[in-house]
Chain A
């Protein structure tokens, strides 16, 4: 019976080629736009470290002056002073903890005639790699002792290793960074969590490639490498020594593996701030300990434009669905005579309803296939855009399947009204009119 409906639907769709093409086209455009924007939205609001994100926390405190502070309302600052970051690190309250700042590293290739170039770099502490599950191709990270000893060593990203050493195992070799010789201890596999959660508010981009060079914080500072972003909250007598200046420039992440550990850390953080207030260093007591996804939500890392585009695409899809309802309705009312005949010959209302829904479903599937093509075109367009996330825009299997679900649901919704109208037609007047 179902095969018969399909045959009937196809025959009816063929009879009115222009109208059918219009319906499929409108639906496909709506679906294409929606899937394109949803893919981007999903990509940008995704979890950068799915296996770890619930265990990573971002402590925040507030060293600003009392002026303008409203208790319970003023949010603590998003980055930390060196003193506070080191105090939190040295307390060792989490499974792992690391402080980090972004910087620019001048890399001087050893080859003759090669020009020096700047690479994005992270200056951080030993736990960074273990805490963020950064995978190593060769070698490994450095130790806390290396941090304290200002060891002249670096971890480099795979793409820098490819560029400088043609992908060979370069552990133990030396590269020149900011006019200092640094020994390579590890080479990372391709690793660039999206969004770049740890770069947020440190003056880096939210999406795109990862850094090329990772080096110990103390070592980098001894080489006078400065952070990308620095926020000062009081007069600064000496800008060179940002370790002691009233300036914030570090992000701190902590790994906490259980709810008790999280509660314990929050208590510790509140206690730390109270202690600093007692010491006269702090005036504000607000603290925050967001998990990774919470931090990204607070930062509103997904650009407004992307969310607006998704909203717009949904509006557009709605217009396309309304359009399809109208056209399907027009088509089916035109066939009142045929419906009358079928009803008179014994077809039940249910059968008529099914027949029209099948027709709508076929329009939907066709719209889905074409919509998929439009979505691929749309994503191709986005990949050629200047946005940071442009190169990431690809359709994955889930969105591929989702396209068809959206298409089918949209077309079936569009089909309900016409199908219902068709099945409630009284057969007799139609037969008479014919």
Chain B
């Protein structure tokens, strides 16, 4: 295929050619960045959390009397166990992605105080008997709390509990003691200290950071007795089969409301908590998808419009070429090659632009660097789009009969 005639003809139509190049460059730049933003959000939405999310139901009970919870919590748990289809019941202070966060920072040295800059901030989960089974925690090392640890743990006047045993996530253990086993090691916040008795597979925090997912799993479980909880335990958790969860949720909410007329009970299935947490993110992702699709459609129609115009304008030349021996294929190829050249010029500029936009966004927003393969990916998408949209007009051009050459337009 001879390219020179294409260049010659493009030089005659400099402005429309430049416009196509510009449009493709802009589309490529926006596309790369939008797809990257979508993928970041999809990654966040899909962050794993090692609990039984599908079968989990929770009822929060707020507005109870702190002095009575010692007897009320065991009674409530017993009542919830009676609901058909419930396999496990427990109580905890918060759940992953519930936005109800209790944070504290600890160090690994005996003299660590809360204000130390090197401390690691973690989310605290307080949990009662069989909480590991109700949540579906996966023990990686060590054990869950024993009966004594659960019964003896209580709050005094300080915001940290009077106990010395904790279970932490694998990620938290790695952040405290990189490359070492955490079992038997101790975290400190003077005058409190806690020894790790177990390590569980990573569970998300109540609130997560979207920029640093490494920190999203820094969670520590503390044992807690009902009597000593001082209102910290308000999430009743029930585990059942996924198909039963809606019914379990309704029945559990009703039961807790009946048993505790002065308090406010609110039931939720866990999958809704997760969905609600990421609702903004997923609607942003969908809106980005919509913009990308519409933008590509506009670009495609722009190419179709301009190429059709060119075809209309060159009917005579096409006729002459056909008359002197060019096949339909040749004519098709001419327009396809022309489009390929224009798109290539467009994506070269577009990739530069995409990179520039990414750098700008990194400086002004919570955005990480776009992996290099997004650039050729975007280029490929626009090449395909260009070829697809030029196909129709090119076919129309190929169907121009040679006899046109003999007519004056």
Contact = CB atoms under 8 A, between A and B. Distances in A.
B27 A319 contact: yes
Classify the interface of chain B: helix, strand, loop or mixed. helix
B16 A26 contact: no
B212 to A, nearest CB: 15
Contacts of A236: 114, 158-159
A228 to B, nearest CB: 11
Nearest to B115: A65
A238 interface: yes
B283 interface: yes
Interface string B111-139: 00111110000000000000000000000
Contacts of A64: 115
B302 A309 contact: no
Contacts of B159: 232, 236, 239
B396 interface: no
Chain B residues touching A, range: 35 or more
A235 B302 contact: no
Interface string A55-80: 00000000011011000000000000
Interface string A320-334: 101101110111011
Interface in A106-123: 106, 108, 115-118
B351 to A, nearest CB: 15
Given A235-B191, A237-B158, A319-B26, A22 B264 contact: no
B302 A304 contact: no
Contact of B16 (A316, A320, A330): A330
A319 B305 contact: no
B257 A385 contact: no
Nearest to B262: A116
Given A68-B117, A326-B19, A19 B305 contact: yes
A318 B262 CA distance: 59
B313 interface: yes
Contacts of A421: 15
A83 to B, nearest CB: 18
Interface stretch (B165-173, B197-205, B290-298): B290-298
Nearest to A417: B15
A334 B310 CA distance: 9
Given A235-B113, A236-B158, A386-B276, A316 B30 contact: yes
A67 B115 contact: yes
Nearest to A104: B62
A319 B295 contact: yes
B332 interface: no
A319 B291 contact: no
B6 interface: no
Nearest to A64: B115
Contacts of B29: 315
A234 interface: yes
A115 B254 CA distance: 12
Contact of B114 (A233, A240, A333): A233
Interface string B363-388: 00110000000000000000000000
Nearest to B360: A311
Interface string B147-169: 00000000001110000000000
Contacts of B284: 305, 309
A144 interface: no
A386 B272 CA distance: 13
10 contacts: A67-B117, A104-B62, A116-B263, A232-B114, A234-B115, A303-B280, A322-B26, A326-B19, A326-B23, A327-B306
